[in-house]
């Protein structure tokens, strides 16, 4: 009986290790959390859509998203108005550049004390 339990445990562990780590950290919609960022912190996206979720102290805040470019003026990506917990998606494919093939993104908010959780 102990041998069957050991064999089952080994089989389950093998299956768990065979699952790619990226899918293990994605939510049911396929979004992978990049992190939670404050104003002007740079985060990186490989392109496609990002989901931007606001954490604001009160009311509805304006968020302007930009792509950082050390060699030129930063590119404007878009604007959204969000209250606490609301999310907006942005398509960022055209901002993927450089040797890392990533879009280097950051935001400015109309009020201090904000943060945003970003998913790729």
Angle, CA of 63, 28 and 105, to the nearest 5°? 30
The whole-angstrom separation of Cα 60 and Cα 7 is 56
Query: Which domains does the chain carry?
Result: 25-119 (2.60.120)
* 38 phi, psi to nearest 5 deg: -95, 170
Residue with tokens 């496609």, as numbered in its chain? 48
The DSSP call for residue 63 is: E
- Is the pLDDT at 13 greater than 80? The verdict is no
Q: DSSP secondary structure string, 89-112?
A: EEE-GGG-BTTTTBEEEEEEESSS
Q: Rounded CA gap, 25 and 99, in Å?
A: 26
Residue 88: which region, alpha, beta or left (left: phi > 0; alpha: psi -120 to 50)? beta
Q: What is the pLDDT of residue 24?
A: 46
Q: Percent of the chain having pLDDT more than 90?
A: 69
Do residues 47 and 55 lie in contact, with contact meaning Cβ atoms separated by under 8 Å?
A: no
Structure tokens at 34: 């990049």
Q: Report the alpha-carbon distance of residue 107 to residue 120 in Å, rounded.
A: 15
Per-residue pLDDT of 54-96, as tens digits, reads 999 999 999 999 999 888 899 999 999 999 999 999 999 999 9
What confidence score (pLDDT) does residue 27 get? Answer: 58
pTM of the model: 0.75
**pLDDT mean across residues, the chain:** 84
């Amino acid at each position: 009986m102990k041998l069957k339990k050991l064999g089952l445990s080994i089989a389950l562990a093998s299956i768990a290790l065979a699952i790619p780590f990226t899918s293990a950290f994605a939510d049911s919609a396929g979004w992978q959390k990049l992190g939670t960022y404050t104003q002007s912190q740079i985060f990186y996206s490989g392109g496609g859509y990002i989901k931007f979720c606001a954490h604001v102290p009160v009311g509805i805040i304006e968020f302007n998203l930009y792509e950082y470019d050390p060699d030129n003026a930063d590119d404007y990506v878009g604007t959204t108005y969000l209250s606490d917990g609301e999310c907006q998606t942005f398509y960022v494919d055209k901002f993927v550049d450089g040797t890392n093939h990533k879009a280097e993104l950051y935001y400015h908010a109309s009020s201090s004390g904000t943060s945003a959780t970003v998913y790729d």
